[in-house]
Structure formats: structure tokens, C-alpha cells
């Protein structure tokens, strides 16, 4: 069979159908006829390569559009379309793999950054805790004891007052002053 260009196929289509149409309309008719005949088989062929119905439809459509952009000889339109769909699917698969690899590398990078900031944060928390402990230990004894009982032992002001045998208002004042000193030194 002789190799044919799209315009030659169009002329042949016009001659065979005996229709009085312009060349553009004939090209569209020829492409429409091929689309109606081959779209479904090409779609299922694409699904053998990829498991994405929407992408398969797009890749088949791209194969048909490639005919319009192709000025090369087309010996067998059906074979050309199957080859174009296969190539489109393989390119799609390669694109997905590249995209997946990129996302994997980005995720690894983010994880490394999180680990770095977590370790840095842990160090900062440790330093802050040491500073806080030193400040608490440097508090006057009359503030330190009620403060520790309140914050670390979870006792209520009334319970602290009862244990230390002082009024509740005194405990409130001592804890308030301890917090004031902590704020100033931090």
C-alpha cells in the first residue's frame, strides 16, 4: 500500500464519498469517521497500559490530534493511532514515575527538616527548662515552697495554706510574687 499524507487521504475520502465539500470539511469528516471507528478500541488499548480512565481518554484524544499536526506520510492510519496511543501511554507512565520520585524526594526533604527543627526545639526546650529550674531554685524560700506545691504537686491554694498553717490570701500573694519574679528573669 502506498504511503499517504493526510491531504491525500482527504482527497481520497472526497472522491470515494462523492461529496461536494471543502478540503477542510473533508479532513474533519475523515478524522470524525476514524474517531468513531477507532476511539473505543484505542481507549481500551490505553487502559491496558494505565489504570486511569480519564487519562486514557485524554491520551487517545491526543493521538487523534497528533494526526492534524503530522505532515509525515501515514501508511496505515489504524497502526499509526495504536502506536501513538502506546507511546502516549508510555510517556504518561514515565511522567507519573518522575512525578512520584520528585514527591518522594520532597517528602524526604521535609522529614529531614522536621527532624532538624525537632532536635533544635528539644535543645531549646531543655535549655529553657534548665533556666526555669535555676530561677525557681533561686526564689526566696517563702515563695518557692508554695509555688512548687501549687505547680508541681497540683495542690489548691487552700490545701497549701492548710499544710503551711497560713491564710489562703498569703499563699495567693506568695505564688503571685513567685510568678512575677519568674516573668522578670525569663
d(Cα 24, Cα 34) in Å, to the nearest integer?
15
Q: Which long-range contacts (CB under 8 A, 24 or more apart) does 81-86 make?
A: 81/34, 81/38, 81/42, 82/42, 82/45, 85/42, 85/45, 85/46, 85/59, 85/60, 86/45, 86/49
CA-to-CA distance for 75 and 69, rounded, in angstroms? 16
Residue 74 lies in a domain: yes
User: Considering the domain boundaries, does residue 163 fall inside one?
Assistant: yes
Residues 95 and 18 in one domain: yes
Calpha distance 92→83 (Å, rounded): 14
Q: Which residues of 165-179 are buried (b: 16+ CB within 10 A; e: fewer)?
A: eeeeeebeebbebbe
In a domain, 133, yes or no: no
The answer to whether residue 171 is domain-embedded is yes
158 lies in the same domain as 83: no
Give the residue numbers spanning the domain of 169: 139-185
Q: Where are the alpha helices (DSSP H) in the chain?
A: 6-17, 23-49, 53-69, 77-138, 141-151, 157-164, 168-185
- The whole-angstrom separation of Cα 184 and Cα 182 is 5
Q: Is residue 90 part of a domain?
A: yes
Structural domain count of the chain: 2
Confidence of residue 19 (pLDDT cuts 50, 70, 90): low
| One domain for residues 145 and 90 | no
The answer to whether residue 35 is domain-embedded is yes
Same domain, 76 and 11: yes
User: Higher-confidence residue: 9 or 48?
Assistant: 48
Residue 37 lies in a domain: yes
CATH number, position 53: 1.10.1740
3-class secondary structure, 4: strand
Mean per-residue pLDDT, 106-122? 84
171 closest CA partner among 147, 153, 151: 147
Last residue of a domain, one of 50, 71, 99: 99
If asked whether residues 18 and 78 sit together in one domain, one would say yes
pLDDT surpassing 90 at residue 10: no
pLDDT tens digits for 131-178? 888 888 898 988 889 988 988 888 999 998 999 899 999 989 999 999
Q: Is the pLDDT of residue 104 over 90?
A: yes
Residue 25 lies in a domain: yes
Tens of pLDDT along 131-142?
888 888 898 988
**b (16+ CB within 10 A) / e for 104-143:** eeeeeeeeeeeeeeeeeeeeeeeeeeeeeeebbeebeeeb
Final residue belonging to a domain, choices 99, 114, 147: 99
Amino acid at each position: 500500500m502506498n504511503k499517504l499524507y493526510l491531504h491525500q487521504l482527504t482527497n481520497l475520502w472526497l472522491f470515494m464519498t462523492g461529496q461536494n465539500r471543502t478540503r477542510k470539511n473533508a479532513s474533519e469528516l475523515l478524522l470524525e469517521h476514524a474517531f468513531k471507528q477507532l476511539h473505543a478500541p484505542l481507549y481500551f488499548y490505553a487502559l491496558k497500559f494505565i489504570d486511569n480512565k480519564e487519562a486514557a481518554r485524554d491520551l487517545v484524544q491526543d493521538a487523534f490530534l497528533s494526526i492534524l499536526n503530522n505532515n509525515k506520510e501515514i501508511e496505515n492510519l489504524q497502526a499509526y493511532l495504536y502506536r501513538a496511543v502506546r507511546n502516549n501511554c508510555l510517556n504518561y507512565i514515565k511522567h507519573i514515575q518522575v512525578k512520584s520520585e520528585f514527591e518522594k524526594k520532597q517528602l524526604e526533604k521535609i522529614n529531614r527538616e522536621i527532624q532538624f527543627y525537632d532536635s533544635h526545639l528539644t535543645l531549646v526546650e531543655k535549655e529553657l527548662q534548665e533556666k526555669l529550674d535555676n530561677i525557681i531554685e533561686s526564689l526566696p524560700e517563702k515563695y518557692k515552697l508554695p509555688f512548687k506545691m501549687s505547680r508541681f504537686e497540683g495542690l489548691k491554694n487552700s490545701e497549701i495554706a492548710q499544710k503551711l498553717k497560713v491564710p489562703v490570701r498569703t499563699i495567693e500573694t506568695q505564688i503571685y510574687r513567685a510568678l512575677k519574679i519568674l516573668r522578670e528573669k525569663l
